[in-house]
Amino acid sequence: MADQNNADNGAQAQQEAGAQSQQAQQTEQSAAQGTDNGAQAQQSTQTQSAPPAGNTVNAHKHQRDIAKLEAERDAARAEAEGYKGLKAEFDAWKAEQAAAKAEDALKAAGCIDVVAASARLSEFDGDVEKLKGAAPYLFASSDNSKSTGGNPKGTPDPEDERTKKMREMLGLTNE
């Protein structure tokens, strides 16, 4: 462990020595350039000693401007959120109106089960006639020629044959 610490300390010492030698080289280079550019540096500081009066920045005005821009940004964000809410509400209203229109069209076509027909209507791109052709069981039949196979008799007679026989067997009479 001590050997490792010594090795780490040695590596750090080498890095520090390398950094110091780089700084020394940079200092020598700037000194060499300084003799050539020294006169130019003095001239440039003399010409730009004081900035013109109109170019200074007022810190308080700058802070007020930043606060004003931040307030405008926050207001724009709030407005955008409001627009998003309105857009969602409008889209929901449009969907509700489209559903009501489809329901009315189905009822006008004689639909028996509007909910089932509405679910299948999207398969036919909203065309009620195509749906009526593909799923006639969802619509009331306008064809009266179809029957169940029985003979309609009208209202049943309260005194049919069976009832008469039962009354006779039990000894009950109508009179």
pLDDT in tens, 91-146: 999 999 998 998 998 988 888 888 889 889 888 888 888 888 888 888 887 666 66
**CA 102 – CA 109 distance, rounded (Å):** 11
Give the burial class of 114: count Cβ atoms within 10 A of its Cβ; 0-12 exposed, 13-18 middle, 19 or more buried: middle
Each domain of the chain, given as residue ranges in start order, spans 63-141
CA gap 8, 100 in Å, rounded: 81
Which token pair is 79?
């407005």
pLDDT above 70: percentage of residues in the chain: 57
What pLDDT shows up at residue 138?
Answer: 86
Nearest to 109 by CA among 132, 125, 130: 132
Look up tokens 């639909």; give the residue.
111
pTM, full prediction: 0.40
Q: Three-class SS of residue 111?
A: strand
Q: What are phi and psi of 45, to 5 degrees?
A: -75, -30
Weakest mean pLDDT among 14-18, 38-42, 77-81, 128-132: 38-42
CA 17, CA 19: separation in Å to the nearest integer?
5
The torsion of the CA quartet 130, 135, 141, 142, rounded to 10 degrees, works out to 10
What is the overall mean pLDDT for the chain?
75
Q: Each residue of 20-45: b (16+ CB within 10 Å) or e? A: eeeeeeeeeeeeeeeeeeeeeeeeee
pLDDT at 68: 96
Among the listed ranges 48-52, 67-71, 78-82, 156-160, which one has the minimum average pLDDT value?
48-52
